[in-house]
Amino acid sequence: MSDTASAQLNDHLRVPDFFGSSTGRVVTLVFMAVLLLVPVAAHFLGIRLQLVSLDFITRILCLAIAAVSLNLILGFGGMISFGHAAFIGIGAYCVGIPAYHGYGSAWLHFPLAVVASAAFALITGAISLRTRGVYFIMITMAFAQMGYYFFLSLEEYGGDDGLTIYSRSVFGIIDIEDKMVLFLLTYACLVAAIYSVYRIVNSRFGMVVRGCNSNEARMKALGYNTYAYKLTAYVIAGGMCGLAGALLGNFTTFISPDMMSWSRSGELMFMVILGGTGSLFGPVFGAVTFVFIEELLSSFTTYWALPFGILLILSVLFIKGGLNGLIQRGWKRD
Amino acid sequence: MLDIQGLRKSFGGVVATDNVTMGIEAGELHAIIGPNGAGKTTLIAQLSGDLAPDAGHVLFGGKDITTVPTHRRSHFGLARSFQITSVFMGLSVIDNVALAVQAHDGHSFRFWQPATTQARLRKPALEVLEKVGLIDRAGSIASALSHGERRQLEIAMALATKPSFMLLDEPMAGMGVEESAAMVEILRSLKGEKTILLVEHDMDVVFALADRISVLVYGRIVATGKPEAIRQNADVRQAYLGEA
Ligand SMILES: Nc1ncnc2c1ncn2[C@@H]1O[C@H](COP(=O)(O)OP(=O)(O)OP(=O)(O)O)[C@@H](O)[C@H]1O
Ligand SMILES: [Mg+2]
């Protein structure tokens, strides 16, 4: 190999940056710090403002984990799944149902949530991934609706009235009945989820999944069994979202089939697209912005859904790369 | 090495492959020529596995691969380049080729270690880039390449899978004079080393490089033979070379 060649070799022995551009690094770090410190400070200072309360932010963090997991398949893998809320519901019922029967251990709830969601992803993904484009969107939505009606029909567990969880998952060492502890746990899970996605998308597996998104025919021609890799990504995303569901179930202590309705799936998609598909922190920006705007608008008017929808569509149409793109470019539109 | 037996494919009323039977011998460079819409790309796609034929068989090294999926054919040593440039636009040139190398370096269910720092993918990728003359662009994003450079990358990716047999669909399509000349040199360097099925419109290139030529018109092979024989063939002159 020539000298230029070995120079090139070293030049490109580099992993893409975790935070993106230098502006992106600063803004992202500040944003994540605010998300952690403001609710904690508000709690200790006794500030009773809903928007900075531990409760409000914990719910956002749960949704952010779900959005991060959806982004793995939607943003990096190009699989437009319209049924992602199903995994939230399954994860939540994996807390609620054992708790109802008197099994309160978190070491049962959380692994069960991940495994059950991953299993549902394996079965439904195996079928869904045989279809393309709009059919894939429809079939993932249909499977989620099947899950919705399944839990709706379980009279034993409350049916459409939902199921109340009387005590949160028991970890032993830490006590998540304390909402500060639950908040910190959820925050830690979000960071772990983002870091895992970072490792995954830059691994050999991740390169294959991104390649399938970019040009699946070429991936096949290169020798990749694209179906197997996409299905694996789908299962990982499902399991990760199951974790989000278990956290959300613990947070609300009330679970119902509504958690997995198609409109919930649509909201998750919006969070990902608003935040910036295929970026690491984009789904977090998207989830926070989405829930904040929803909260603000709904306090002004009962007809908040229409202006909200219009706002979202405009932002998606006019900001390239979503909020993350905006941040990475230092607030330039494109 | 590759045997095509009674292959047929039609799209609605259009018969794109009409009972094609031909054989490509190990080590030869076999060119396919024919007018636009003759069915050349359709034939290539059936050999690579991207399209399923309506009837007929494809044998590779004596083994019937008609129903073998594309990705497995790649592991048998069959590689394809696309007429319409088909590279990963969002990735750098070296990442494009490294992804091709990776496809033949065991399975890719490796979820944690960064792929872009692995010398066992990078080194072979750089070697291929050097071979096709794209080494100076290794770090550029593919979408920033000129058309000609993308065509070179297209070939580089096929080469990186270490194929024994290459299906090349108009590697010079849309290239300038100089770029074409560079591509001819690349093809010449591959000749003998790989078995090649080359679809190409440029007659000078075809007659200069090919060991044998097949002429495809309306999905049918109308003639197969050595370049001199094809040049003399009256049917070919009439059907394709545009002479009365
Ligand atoms: N997916 C498809 N659906 C319908 N018709 C098709 C399809 N692919 C090819 N055809 C038709 O089949 C015929 C052969 O097309 P093909 O692309 O194989 O020709 P070609 O020899 O590669 O032409 P060119 O020199 O322009 O590349 C054409 O009439 C084309 O319109
Ligand atoms: Mg063609």
How confident is the model at residue B242, as a pLDDT?
A: 58
Residue type at A224? Y
pTM of the model: 0.93
Is the pLDDT at A2 greater than 70? The verdict is no
Q: What is the ipTM of this complex?
A: 0.93
pLDDT single digits (tens) A67-91? 999 999 999 999 999 999 999 999 9
Q: Look up residue A287 and give its two tokens.
A: 């989830």
Per-residue pLDDT tens, chain B, 244 aa: give them: 999 999 999 999 899 999 999 999 999 999 999 989 999 999 999 999 999 999 999 999 999 999 999 999 999 999 999 999 999 998 999 999 999 999 999 999 999 999 988 999 999 999 999 999 999 999 999 999 999 999 999 999 999 999 999 999 999 988 888 889 999 999 999 998 999 999 998 888 999 999 999 999 999 999 899 998 888 877 777 766 555 4
What CATH fold (topology level) applies to the domain B1-77+164-244?
A: Rossmann fold (3.40.50)
Question: Taking a C-beta distance cutoff of 8 angstroms, is the pair B48, B80 a contact?
Answer: yes
Q: Look up residue A257 and give its two tokens.
A: 């089939």
Which bound ligand lies closest to the C-alpha atom of B34? 1
Q: Which atom of ligand 1 is nearest to the CA of B42?
A: 18
Given CA atoms A240, A244, A249, A255 in this order, what sign does their dihedral have? negative
Q: Does residue B89 sit at the A interface (CB-CB below 8 Å)?
A: yes
Domain ranges for chain A, please list them: 20-329
Question: Taking a C-beta distance cutoff of 8 angstroms, is the pair B235, B33 a contact?
Answer: no
Residues of chain A contacting B, Cβ within 8 Å = 1-2, 4-5, 8-9, 11-16, 199-200, 202-208, 210-211, 214-215, 217-226, 229, 232
Q: Look up residue A183 and give its two tokens.
A: 């908040």
What architecture is the A20-329 domain classified under in CATH? Orthogonal Bundle (1.10)
Chain A residues closer than 8 Å to B102 by CB: 204, 207-208
Give the alpha-carbon dihedral of A32, A36, A38, A43, to 10 degrees.
170
**Residue B33: beta bridge partners?**
B215
Q: Look up residue A2 and give its two tokens.
A: 């020539």
Q: Taking CB atoms and an 8 Å limit, are A8 and B94 in contact across chains?
A: yes
pLDDT single digits (tens) A192-238? 999 999 999 999 999 999 999 999 999 999 999 999 999 999 999 99
- The verdict on the CB of residue B47 being under 6 Å from ligand 1 is no
Q: How far, in Å, from the CA of A143 to the mean position of ligand 2?
A: 40
Q: Mean pLDDT, chain A, as a whole number?
A: 91
Report how far residue B5's alpha carbon sits from residue B59's, in angstroms, rounded to the nearest whole number.
8
Question: Where do you find CATH 3.40.50.300 in chain B?
Answer: 1-77+164-244
Q: Which atom of ligand 1 is nearest to the CA of B170?
A: 27
